[in-house]
Amino acid sequence: MAAGHSVDPARWRLMFELVMARIAGHFGRVEPRASARAYLLGLLSQAERKNCWQLAEQAGHIRPWPMQRLLRYARWDADAVRDDIRTYAVDHLGTDDGVLIVDFTGFLKKGRASAGVQRQYTGTAGRIENSQVGVFLAYATSRGRALIDRRLYLPEQSWCGDLERRQAAGIPETVQFATKPRLAWEMIAAALDAGMEAPWVTGDEAYGQDPQLRAALEARGTGYVLAVACSTRVRINRERTTVRADTVADRLPANAWQ
């Protein structure tokens, strides 16, 4: 591991155990708590693959059942764990220059049973593949960066409208279709409502092209730098004139940028 020379193993292990102690109360029983600890250590290990079989082997189990039970059947409060991890990240990384970053990524899958899976574009493969897609929120400052939230993207036609498929995958009836920008806003709003200080939000064109997300950020008084297509028309001359974004960018002198 390239960063291995700069990491104190004893201090790393101590901090890991402190985080586990912080979230331990969100697991109702000792078994899922132990499985969660082993699962996280497996994810952080150098194991070549990170499915339940490999993570179970990494933990010394001969079967994947403890990991599968943790992810599918065990009772624990995932959102409460998320809240504690977000607070931990702010405690250790928080500065006045904090930025929230939204992006989605795909997880290649086989079959059609995994929640949200379908043939769709994923940057993981750089093309349309059978995959799940998750929208993620990261927090970055001059001290470091960390993932602090996540949402599963549930396609509208193939999943949200298929009651039988939803029930088979265990998707609650309360979960409805939401676009990726909408999922991003839910996470941003939750972070800001929790008291996180982040004067800026940034993301790629998938989010910049959504006027509702931009309007929500403006209403909240949160700055943003979101990519848009070069053909997007923007207003200049006190909003009297609309011009393509790339035309405006070409006309600006170098000293106009920060």
Joined together, the tokens standing for residue 49 give 């693959």
Q: What is the percentage of the chain residues whose pLDDT exceeds 90?
A: 81
Q: Report how far residue 205's alpha carbon sits from residue 251's, in angstroms, rounded to the nearest whole number.
A: 22
Q: Is the pLDDT of residue 3 over 50?
A: no
Per-residue pLDDT tens over the stretch 60-77? 999 999 999 999 889 999
* DSSP code at position 112: S
What's the rounded Cα separation, in Å, for the pair 146 and 126? 24
Which residue type, as a one-letter code, is found at position 116? G
For 200, phi then psi, to 5°, come to -135, 150
100 touches 138 (CB < 8 A): yes
Residue 47 has pLDDT above 90, yes or no: no
Q: Is the pLDDT of residue 79 over 80?
A: yes
**pLDDT at residue 5 in the model:** 55
Condensed to tens digits (0 to 9), the pLDDT of residues 136-146 reads 999 999 999 99
Euclidean distance between CA atoms 241 and 245, whole angstroms: 12
Mean local confidence (pLDDT), 177-182: 97
CB 241 within 8 A of CB 235: yes
pLDDT at 4 > cutoff 50: no
74: left (phi over 0), alpha (psi -120 to 50) or beta: beta
Backbone φ and ψ of 255, nearest 5°: -80, 0
- In this predicted structure, what is the pLDDT of residue 56? 92
Give pLDDT, residue 20. 95
Q: Determine phi and psi for 151, rounding to 5 degrees.
A: -145, 140
pLDDT of residue 126: 87
pLDDT value of position 144: 93
Q: What is the DSSP letter of 117?
A: -
Residue identified by tokens 């950020």 is 217
- pLDDT score at 72: 86
> Which whole number is the average pLDDT over 88-108?
93
Work out the average pLDDT over 222-245.
92
Q: What is the mean pLDDT of residues 10-28?
A: 93
Burial class for 102, CB neighbours closer than 10 Å (0-12, 13-18, 19+) = buried
3-class DSSP state of 198: coil
Token pair recorded at residue 56: 């179970």
Round to whole Å and give the CA distance between 119 and 113. Answer: 13
pLDDT tens by residue, 187-224:
999 999 999 989 999 999 999 999 999 999 999 999 99
